[in-house]
A and B are shown apart, each in its own frame.
Chain A
Amino acid sequence: DVKVTQSSRYLVKRTGEKVFLECVQDMDHENMFWYRQDPGLGLRLIYFSYDVKMKEKGDIPEGYSVSREKKERFSLILESASTNQTSMYLCASSLTIFTQYFGPGTRLTVL
């Protein structure tokens, strides 16, 4: 079974803090993704990566950056957290271009 793990289930940070969200997958997948899920807006793609050290902007990359130094690990970075980044963050990985496997999510609250 594919396993995608995220470093925290719940996280509370203050405005202006730098925040790191970590994601690890154990299936040697090439592709990894970061989404945020908000009520009424569904899942929106922030960034994705199709190889180590490669990254592509998704639909809402503003205020975020990513890092992929190893194939199994994809990190999402909030350089200076703001209250409008309070959300559920979901990481996913995939081998093919279609089916994605998701982690359990990190609920981030920025105060």
Chain B
Amino acid sequence: DQQVKQNSPSLSVQEGRISILNCDYTNSMFDYFLWYKKYPAEGPTFLISISSIKDKNEDGRFTVFLNKSAKHLSLHIVPSQPGDSAVYFCAAHTGTASKLTFGTGTRLQVTL
């Protein structure tokens, strides 16, 4: 049972435009959401996070939006750059355990 879903396996965006990556979840007990970025042959690296009590968090070119009623979050990258080409995973946390539940990933390609 996939509690965190990324329905778009891939996305292609032109350099300079906005990239929007989406993530849906089913567990209303998730209290914290994170985005990770993964380049080939490297481990994922933390990008940005948001608490469930907020609806927006911004860090430079990256903004994460959370819509709790729709159980949906999105990552906006503006402007997109070729170095942003990677696989992006959303992840969610719940409870007192330290573990995260990851989505299936979206491969972003930023073209020139």
Contact = CB atoms under 8 A, between A and B. Distances in A.
A98 B49 contact: yes
Contacts of B96: 97
A102 B6 CA distance: 21
Given A42-B105, A44-B102, A50-B98, A101 B46 contact: yes
B46 A100 contact: yes
A33 B99 contact: yes
Contacts, number: 64
Contacts of A103: 43
B31 to A, nearest CB: 10
Bin the interface of chain A by size. 20 to 34
B43 A104 contact: yes
Interface string A41-52: 111110010100
B89, B96, B105: residue with the most chain A Cβ atoms closer than 10 Å? B105
A50 B99 CA distance: 10
B100 interface: yes
Nearest to A33: B99
B102 A99 contact: no
Given A40-B9, A41-B104, A90 B43 contact: yes
Interface of B: 6, 9, 32, 34, 36, 41-46, 49, 89, 91, 93, 96-105
Given A43-B89, A43-B91, A45-B101, 9 more contacts: A43-B44, A48-B98, A50-B98, A59-B101, A97-B98, A98-B49, A98-B93, A99-B34, A105-B42
25 contacts: A9-B41, A31-B98, A35-B102, A43-B105, A44-B102, A45-B99, A45-B100, A48-B99, A56-B97, A56-B99, A58-B99, A90-B43, A97-B93, A97-B98, A98-B32, A98-B93, A99-B46, A100-B100, A101-B43, A102-B43, A102-B44, A104-B42, A104-B43, A105-B42, A105-B43
